[in-house]
Structure 1
């Protein structure tokens, strides 16, 4: 029997980015007592403040900067998992950024796929918060990642994500897995059924949302002034 969940909305915060409801079918990952099923993939503070995601995964294609980490953590009202490099940014800088992210209040850090295991190991020895390592193929040495200190796998394999998750889950039945769910409820459901514990969701960009609002504003104007 499904439980009835009362829902409360406000007038000003009624217009938010709601993640697909199918994500609630995921088991979730309990981090420091908080059960997280949905991760919104964004660094847009306006989106972060106007979404119903359980957490934020903030990774961006530039060298991570402490001031950005601080802004994201301060803006969010949910846990933030910050990217700290591992691709373009390497070596000791990654370790320092991870420690800084922990000090600034991030619930976890995210390392890119190219991160060497030795760097992963040093990050694990330095910080106490979870380390998410990105995985793009089932042929990666997952066991080496786990032994080096990865806490959670973040599978990002585009159209092959569900297949990659399934292959990993066969070998590691209980290890925490986050995965990109894709653009539809069907692809998200397939990823969950493949074994993902939580889903990352990429929201529409603010410019597209604003564009839709402007269309509605113009249509309303035409209705009020049909002869113009």
Structure 2
């Protein structure tokens, strides 16, 4: 049996986004002495301040900007891994953004799947923090990614994520892998059993969370009026 873990909450911070407990079954990845098992996928400052994940995966579909990186790192109580391009943003700019992210306190940087191995090598020569490279297909040349200087693979293959993780794990038994876990405990467990060391969790949209809150308020007034 596992040991009992006492839990302490404040009145004002008792309502937070909690990651699924099954993610704790992952082995985790030790980065600069910290074991990270759960990454919450968000750039929302309110979410960043109100969740119980081990780290933040802050990637967005626009051109990365140093001001955004600074804001995200400043808002977080846990390590932040920032997107620095690799899709619409390419070339030397990616390495420059990565260096800037390191200077601003990011624990690691994330690049998208179109990033060339040449850019990854340039980044590896420039920064001293982990380079996380996103993998979206089982047909990608993983060995070339690793040889270029990739530190961690971030598998995001939608329904094929667990399959891709398993294929990578068969060839690279010890290489660090983060992967999307899907929306259910079953898919998260499947991804962990396939070989993922850590899981990224996408929280519900703020609008949905706030909608639930407003509905509770309406019911409260409705119940009071019926008393």
TM-score, normalised on structure 1? 0.98
Tell me the equivalent position of 1:148. 148
- Say which SS state the counterpart of residue 7 (structure 2) adopts: coil
- Of residues 2-11 and 190-199 in structure 1, the stretch that sits farther from structure 2 once superposed is 2-11
| Deviant stretches of 4+, over 6 Å | none
Q: Distance in 2 between matches of 1:105 and 1:132?
A: 16
1:160-199 C-alpha deviation (Å, 9 max, x unpaired): 0000000000000000000000000000000000000000
Tell me the equivalent position of 1:159. 159
Paired residues, what number?
227
Q: Distance in 2 between matches of 1:221 and 1:54?
A: 37
Q: Distance in 2 between matches of 1:213 and 1:7?
A: 24
Deviation at 1:135?
Answer: 0.3
1:105-184 correspondence to structure 2 within 5 Å: 105-184=105-184
Tell me the equivalent position of 2:64. 64
- Say which SS state the counterpart of residue 46 (structure 1) adopts: helix
Q: Distance in 2 between matches of 1:163 and 1:5?
A: 34
1:16-31 correspondence to structure 2 within 5 Å: 16-31=16-31
Tell me the equivalent position of 2:53. 53
Q: Distance in 1 between matches of 2:222 and 2:6?
A: 38
* Ranges in structure 2 where 5+ consecutive residues have no aligned partner: none
What is the RMSD of the two structures over their aligned residues, measured on CA atoms? 0.8
* Ranges in structure 1 where 5+ consecutive residues have no aligned partner: none
Q: Distance in 2 between matches of 1:78 and 1:205?
A: 21
